[in-house]
Amino acid sequence: MVDALVIGAGPAGLMAAEELARAGRRVLVCEAKASVGRKFLMAGKSGLNVTKDEGAAAFAGRYDSDWLGPMLAEFGPAEVMAWCRGLGQEVFTGSSGRVFPAAMKASPLLRAWLARLGAAGVEVRTRWRWAGFAGAGLRFKMPEGERVLTPAVTVLALGGASWARLGSDAAWVPWLVERGVEVAAWKPANMGFAVDWSAQMARVFGQPVKGAALYVAGRRERGEFVVSARGLEGGGIYAVSRELREGAGLVLDLMPDVGAAEVAARLGRMRAGETAANRLRKLGLAPVAVALVMEFAKGAPLTVVKALPVRLAGPRPLDEAISVAGGVTRGAVTEGLELRAVPGVFVCGEMLDWEAPTGGYLLTGCWATGRWAGRAAAG
């Protein structure tokens, strides 16, 4: 009989496996894909942001679910940085407070982690896809056929419902629901938003809007975003995506470092008869920002650059989202993240119903919940 089984070899699952092994359990990790940590490696392609270097209260406050508080208190930014260094991966804090490995990539960290897990006796099997329950066991499909495992304890770390090609396809939902587990409906998080562009916008597709201020639901965020053929996407949009998803409007200040009176004064000094586009360029707006004004407020006073209303056509599809809201609800698990309806089975990572912004919060949340579930399962 398998002693401790972990299904899913992403950050949450591998962290659960590490805790189980540390407690002396014989651990088997099963991964449906041909290799481990696929979404983790993809997230690190542009620089792996492991956490955010800020106070514990401020950090925890960026999550929409206060029930993660104890888990983040035990494995928050300071602990993440120490853990990375323990794997021989030095980290540094950028000007925004975001923390990155010195190598910037995910692959060196993952290689060092897998080596440590292997030395601890953790066995990893790829191309083992969980196919649901089989009585008291768990059924797997692999290239050579099917097999049922009956572990003493199981940790599920199967991801959410975005980036299905990397393994997070939410195929597990009906199997847990059949066992009486409550799973909240999925919603995209940290995603772009569709815009029904006119033909004139095609010339600026792919261009970033830098330094804008975004006003949504009474709050202000500074950030960069990109105008794409599909709409608006990028960090600035992701920061306010939850409020936009729930129906709040978006207003842009394209000159946040210049007061409204100064903008009006500059416009007043320009020659009469100049085209609106030319006057906007003289204000210092980049071509992509000029295009946005002409798209959303053509014919309006040009002082609209301080409060440009943006017409969105809804969030991009779920599978395009960086992360998701929804999943196994708080009421469905014990304090140790054990499923109340399926004793001996624990859940962690993006399977759980929590939401957080990008900027290291997602990865830290997965590690913290994986660690918590692994420790509880080991007990």
- Going from N- to C-terminal start, the domains of the chain cover 4-188+321-378, 193-310
- Other beta carbons less than 10 A from residue 306's beta carbon: 20
Gyration radius (Cα) of the chain, Å = 24
pLDDT of residue 45: 78
pLDDT of residue 2: 77
Task: Assign 3-class secondary structure to the chain.
Answer: CCCEEEECCCHHHHHHHHHHHHCCCCEEEEECCCCCCHHHHHHCCCCCCCEECCCHHHHHCCCCCHHHHHHHHHCCHHHHHHHHHHCCCCEEECCCCEEEECCCCCHHHHHHHHHHHHHCCCEEEECCEEEEEECCEEEEEECCEEEEECCCEEEECCCCCCCHHHCCCCCCHHHHHHCCCCEEEEEEECCCEECCCCHHHHHHCCEEEEEEEEEECCEEEEEEEEEECCEEECHHHHHCHHHHHCCCCEEEECCCCCCHHHHHHHHHCCCCCCCHHHHHHHCCCCHHHHHHHHHHHCCCCHHHHHCEEECCCCECCHHHCCEEEEEECHHHECCCCEECCCCCEEECHHHECCCCCCCCHHHHHHHHHHHHHHHHHHC
Contact 348, 330 (CB under 8 A): no
- In angstroms, the first-to-last Cα distance of the chain is 18
pLDDT of residue 163: 87
**Side chain identity at 299, as an amino acid letter?**
G
Please state whether beta strands 231-233 and 193-194 pair in parallel, antiparallel, or not at all (unpaired). Answer: antiparallel
The single residue listed with the structure tokens 């609800």 is 329
Nearest Cα residue to 170 out of 305, 265, 32, 307: 32
pLDDT tens-place values along the chain, 379 residues long: 679 999 999 999 999 999 999 999 999 999 999 999 998 998 877 789 999 999 989 999 999 889 999 999 999 999 999 999 999 999 999 988 999 999 999 999 999 999 999 999 999 999 999 999 999 999 999 999 999 999 999 999 999 999 888 889 999 999 999 999 999 999 999 999 999 999 999 999 999 999 899 999 999 999 999 999 999 999 999 999 999 999 999 999 999 999 999 999 999 999 888 899 999 999 999 999 999 999 999 999 999 999 999 999 999 999 999 999 999 999 999 999 999 999 999 999 999 999 999 989 999 999 999 999 999 999 9
**Phi/psi at 212 (nearest 5 deg)?**
-75, 160
Residue 253 forms beta bridges with which residues?
213
Nearest Cα residue to 363 out of 178, 114, 109, 156: 109
Nearest Cα residue to 128 out of 114, 145, 111, 151: 145
Nearest Cα residue to 154 out of 166, 172, 168, 170: 172
State how far the Cα of 11 lies from the Cα of 352, in Å rounded to an integer: 14
| pLDDT tens string 140-156 | 999 999 999 999 999 99
pLDDT of residue 1: 62
Instruction: List all residues 6 or more positions away from 128 whose beta carbon is below 8 Å from its beta carbon.
Output: 30, 31, 32, 140, 141, 142
pTM of the predicted model, to two decimals?
A: 0.92
CATH assignment of 4-188+321-378, given 3.30.300.350, 3.40.1280.10, 3.30.565.10, 3.50.50.60? 3.50.50.60
**Side chain identity at 200, as an amino acid letter?**
Q
pLDDT of residue 207: 97
Instruction: List all residues 6 or more positions away from 266 whose beta carbon is below 8 Å from its beta carbon.
Output: 282, 283
- Other beta carbons less than 10 A from residue 133's beta carbon: 16
Contact 293, 278 (CB under 8 A): no
Contact 139, 146 (CB under 8 A): yes
pLDDT of residue 291: 97
| pLDDT tens string 91-128 | 999 988 999 999 999 999 999 999 999 999 999 999 99
